[in-house]
Amino acid sequence: MDNEVLSILNETGAWLPKGHYILVSGDHSSEYVNCRIPLGDERYRQTIARHLAELFESDHIGLVVGILPSGALMAPLVGGVLNVPALFAVPQHDSFRILGEMPRPAAKAVLILDDVLTMDRPFLTLRRCLEEKNLGTVKSFGVIVDRSGGRLSLGVHLRSLVTKSMDLYSEGACPICDQGIPAWDLRDPYMDPMRQIVSAGELGDRQVGLLYKYYADVYRVAGEPDRADQILRIPKEATLQDCGNKKDRVAVLGASKATSNIHDTAQFVARELGRYAITGKFIYTPKTGDALPFKHEPFESMNEHLRKMIFSSHLVLATHSIASGEIIETCWCSEALKPTLGLAFTKQIFKKPEPSCPYLLFCRRPGYVQCVGVQAIQDRKPVMGSWICKSLPRTEMCPFVEMDLSNMLLDFYCSNPRMTLIGSHSLENLKEPIRSFIENNGIFKPGIALRTKQSLK
């Protein structure tokens, strides 16, 4: 393991915090390393390239091919140290487009470079492509980080500067999913994996600056100098005065530990429903979904900032992912008689037999559960509000109680006719009710409700 490179990765924050990431391969992991951050610094880039070249000095390399985007920066530098030409490989569906001046005759030994190794498919596809184009025989593969822990065997000289075994779980067998921890889905083919994390404010200013420099250099080399701004914008700040009229605004609440749920919900509201989606950190613009930093005023406390956000919006979406979250914000919504749709993200809906609570509805399409405890008040029942939840046996607890939503929070939804609580395991199942709630100005119209849990499967 190269200690100097490991120090660079640590110093630049390339190892992201422990969390829940869905990788491009579709596997889930609690860890993610982004080598693009240190590659944004030219000094670190030169150091990493020099160390990579040293790994292959004895392989008699005749051609270096770098997989874009990182390969656009690494291949010329490594090729320069080894005194051989360099090409770029642009991923295209199940193949690659090769850029650069093609060497003739074919190289006897080709070195492929990438930043991180998780799976073998990209390497095997590129090797086949190079050999079909008669560009040479692939003998070596170099990466900055081998996150497979050395488990993969590619049939060539595989060398890395850092080797680290990082957990990988297949879809449906992920213990992090079972814990209900929201995931960053990094598979969007039209967006760099880091842009949504950058937009959600999960990186520091220096990390964002290095990423921006990285893309500026990548696309300058690739002949598309303006594309960096399209992939990773550094946005301007916004205020409530920039957000049209009150009826154009939807406040999106949630715990800071569940940032991805807040971000994904806000982007859906902005992009697909054409409203300003306002969170504690960002204002998402209609149609584009751009996240503009929403800064608090001087001498304004956090509570004052959030209260202003709620009272200045026409509707509220409150995401609930962790126990005891958003109680005071939900209290403000109830106090202001604000039309509020609570969104509980929980897998418990699917894991236990359906509870017998008379105020719990399972909706067949698109697949969510709804609490209608407010009906007890309308029916003039002596037991109402969260007292209904407390009166049920433990074996009959509903998904909302199972995920430890507090009695106080449940009481708001069970006693205020302008507040509705629904839940599902994914945002996809909640998009239709969110659309109905917003397009009907805060009047929630449920889907087809059945009393059988099997309808959700």
Q: Residue 409, exposed/middle/buried by CB under 10 A (0-12, 13-18, 19+)?
A: buried
Strands 21-22 and 28-29: antiparallel
Distance CA 107, CA 100 (A): 15
Distance CA 106, CA 103 (A): 6
Q: Are residues 139 and 258 in the same domain?
A: no
- What letter does residue 456 receive in the DSSP assignment? G
Q: Is residue 257 in a domain?
A: yes
Q: Is residue 448 in a domain?
A: yes
Q: Is residue 419 in a domain?
A: yes
pLDDT at 77: 95
At 452, which CATH number? 3.40.50.450
pLDDT at 403: 76
pLDDT at 191: 46
pLDDT at 440: 92
pLDDT at 426: 84
| Paired tokens of 22 | 């869905």
Is the pTM higher than 0.95? no
Q: Is residue 210 in a domain?
A: no
Q: Are residues 245 and 183 in the same domain?
A: no
Q: Are residues 60 and 156 in the same domain?
A: yes
For residue 398, what are the CA distances in angstroms to 94, 150, 289, 401, 448? 46, 45, 34, 5, 19
CB atoms within 10 A of CB 320: 28
The domain tally of the chain equals 2
Give the residue numbers spanning the domain of 60.
3-199
pLDDT at 189: 43
Q: Is residue 218 in a domain?
A: no
The alpha carbon of residue 455 and the mean position of all alpha carbons in its chain are separated, in whole angstroms, by 29
Q: Is residue 272 in a domain?
A: yes
Taking only the tens place, the pLDDT of each residue in 247-260 is: 999 999 987 655 67
| Paired tokens of 278 | 């306002």
Positions in the chain whose pLDDT score sits under 70: 1-2, 187-203, 222, 224-236, 256-259, 322-325, 347-356, 364, 383-386, 390-397, 446-457
Domain stops at, among 143, 178, 199: 199
Q: Is residue 229 in a domain?
A: no
Q: Is residue 379 in a domain?
A: yes
pLDDT at 397: 61
